[in-house]
Amino acid sequence: MLPWNEIDTVLLDMDGTLLDLHFDNHFWLQLVPRELSKQRSISVKQASELVEKQYARVAGTLDWYCLDYWRDTLELDILALHRDLVDRIQMRQDSMPFLQALEQAGKLRILVTNAHPDNLQLKLEHTELRRGLDKLISSHETGYPKEHPAFWRALFAKFDLDPGRCLFIDDSEPILTAAQKAGAGFQLGIKNPDSQKPHKQFRDFPAIHDYHLLLDDLLASSR
């Protein structure tokens, strides 16, 4: 599926790509509305409608991913609520075998996430993810989300990468498109970011549901 001999660096999204997105979906779509309904003495349905409207207003911007923004907007201690749910933070079962195979094949492994630095740190503390990475960057360090071309310019410059020899893996087709437009040589989608939901369909990019499908070709390329 992928010409591994043409790829030096693998850029990996975090939530839905290396970690199970079920945690985030549960947090933002269930826990936050529930807490907001208690705080404002409104129904959970009303709270859900309120937060979904707020989410839609800033979708695709850095604010959408910013815990500080949501703390101020919703008047909830978002990070504290995250800490209450740390037992739900889980890696995908196929992530670590893939990350280990990338290391064995001599590929540079860089985590490329829109997650707020506090959210990122929490997830690194409660999973073995850091052990499978060489470098990492949060889009908040650049001032632009991954949806924006300036993020990619900053990323390639920070790590002195040849964009054409990078593979980017993400569960979001719009973000894969942004990476492609910015010059990343290869893109791959993830069909099953949330283990509790049906597979997604990708229109413009190849996509997989299990990293084990890549291991034979990847390891063969390193022999």
DSSP-derived secondary structure for 122-185: HHHHTSSGGGG-SEEEEGGGTTS-TTSHHHHHHHHHHTT--GGGEEEEES-HHHHHHHHHHT-S
The span from the CA of 105 to the CA of 14, in Å, is 21
Q: Are 99 and 132 in contact (CB under 8 A)?
A: yes
pLDDT per residue, tens digit, the chain (223 aa), is 799 999 999 999 999 999 999 999 999 999 999 999 999 999 999 999 999 999 999 999 999 999 999 999 999 999 999 999 999 999 999 999 999 999 999 999 999 999 999 999 999 999 999 999 999 999 999 999 999 999 999 999 999 999 999 999 999 999 999 999 999 999 999 999 999 999 999 999 999 999 999 999 998 987 7
Q: What angle do CA 67, 71, 72 make, to 5 degrees?
A: 120
Residue pair 164/11 in contact by the 8 Å Cβ criterion: no
Q: What is the pLDDT of residue 1?
A: 79
pLDDT of residue 152: 98
**What backbone phi and psi angles, to 5 degrees, belong to 150?**
-65, -30
